[in-house]
Amino acid sequence: MKIDLYEKLWMWAAVVIVAVFLTSIGLTTLGQAGQPPSHVETIDPTALRTDPRFANPGVTIHHDGSATVVIVASMFAFQPGEIRVPVGRHVTFRISSPDVIHGFQIVGTNGNAMIVPGYVSEFTTEFRRAGEYLIVCNEFCGLGHHVMYATLIVDEHPRVDAAGGGAP
């Protein structure tokens, strides 16, 4: 079969593009801080606030300086409403919803997850710049959707406090 030279070039270009995409998906899946928020950890949404995993939302700073942030996203607030995490350390977010689907987007960073009732959304990221970041809900969740936000403070010297993450 005779294939035109340009046709052949385009076919090879398409193969290369697909290979590049698959490689980048593979590398970010295996690498640090690049995983999709889909760990398929389930939770009973009607008992979210009494479940030990989510009963005390807030920031926990670990011995190695990394942090875990537990957040409840509900109509129409994030709890806690102010989150303080260390700069340049791994920060793992664990978020769930007791009511409807919400979004969790840390504006200007790669922190972004869909919060689905019945599931724990988890992702790990790192903030290289200290400062104040806006967290918004980016899934329409009802009449108060537009007022659903929180503040992330990336701090050089975070408070070591197992339970507190600031007032809701």
Out of 15, 55, 140, 160, the only residue in the binding site for ligand CUA (CB under 6 A) is: 140
Burial environment of residue 20 by CB neighbours within 10 A (0 to 12, 13 to 18, 19 or more): exposed
Instruction: Write the CB contacts of 111 (distance below 8 Å, at least 6 apart in sequence).
Output: 93, 104, 105, 123, 125
137 binds ligand CUA (CB under 6 A): yes
Site for ligand CUA, residues 34 to 63, rule: CB under 6 A: none
145 binds ligand CUA (CB under 6 A): yes
Instruction: Write the CB contacts of 22 (distance below 8 Å, at least 6 apart in sequence).
Output: none
148 binds ligand CUA (CB under 6 A): yes
141 binds ligand CUA (CB under 6 A): yes
Out of 70, 102, 122, 126, the only residue in the binding site for ligand CUA (CB under 6 A) is: 102
Q: Which stretch binds ligand CUA (CB under 6 A): 20-28, 121-129, 132-140, 149-157?
A: 132-140
Alpha helix segments (H runs only) across the chain: 5-30
Half-sphere exposure in the Cβ direction for 59 (13 Å, CA): 25
Site residues for ligand CUA per CB under 6 A: 76, 102, 137, 139-141, 145, 148
